[in-house]
Amino acid sequence: METLKTSSLAAAGRAALVPVLAGAVALGGLCAWTASGAAGRPPAVTVEDARVLLPLGRDDTAAFLRVRNAGDVDDELIGVDAPTAAGAMLSRTVVRKGAGHMEMVRSATVPAGGTLEMSPHGLDVMVWAPPRMKPGDRLPVVLQFRRAGTVRTEAEVVRAGSGGG
């Protein structure tokens, strides 16, 4: 009877050894993959060339930004704010049957290793009721990304047609 118990325990030990070794090999492989950098870098979002058009009086205006993602994973711009203005939102100029209008955009992808470029003919940040500004002033802009979190920048105020958008 004692031999039967010992034999059963040895068989159970050998059976448990296979999944334990497989798990250890998998964990070792994942550690090596991550340590080598092959696991990818998280989104690393930066903002460049941020400009806002000088509004006429208290009219609404638009800001244009270049958003770079040096990471290996796409990120998503999910919100914008201009704290010194009444508000801001992502918008896109859409032309249908020769007439252009603005449409709200909920989010925009910032590709891994790529750039999200805003322009007057596509995606922009609509800013309503901005503060009084003159060329050269800076408008604070807050961007919210799904993965990278909050990024703060300042957009330089430029005159329309001066290369500002």
pLDDT at 97 over 90: no
Q: Are 83 and 140 in contact (CB under 8 A)?
A: yes
| Residue-range domain boundaries for the chain | 1-39, 45-158
What was the pLDDT predicted at 36?
A: 46
Tokens of 58: 């208290």
pLDDT digits (tens, 9 = 90+) for 61-82: 999 999 999 999 999 999 999 9
Residue 85 has pLDDT above 80, yes or no: yes
**Could you confirm whether domain 45-158 is CATH 3.40.50.300?**
no
Q: Of the segments 35-49, 56-70, 133-147, which one has the largest average pLDDT value?
A: 133-147
Q: Which residue has the higher pLDDT, 42 or 3?
A: 42
Backbone CA torsion sign across 75, 68, 122, 137: positive
Mean of pLDDT over the chain: 84
Count of CB atoms situated within 10 Å of the CB of 49:
13
pLDDT of residue 34: 52
For residue 155, the surrounding DSSP H or E stretch is: strand 149-158
SS3 state at 159:
coil
Which has more pLDDT, 104 or 164? 104
Q: Answer whether residue 112 shows pLDDT above 50.
A: yes
Alpha-carbon distance 115 to 71, whole Å?
A: 11
pTM: 0.71
More confident residue, 109 or 97: 109
Any residues with CB less than 8 A from the CB of 103 and at least 6 apart, and which? 91, 92, 94
Are residues 110 and 77 in contact, defined by beta-carbon separation less than 8 angstroms? yes
What's the rounded mean pLDDT across residues 8-37? 57
Choice between 13 and 109, residue whose per-residue pLDDT is larger: 109
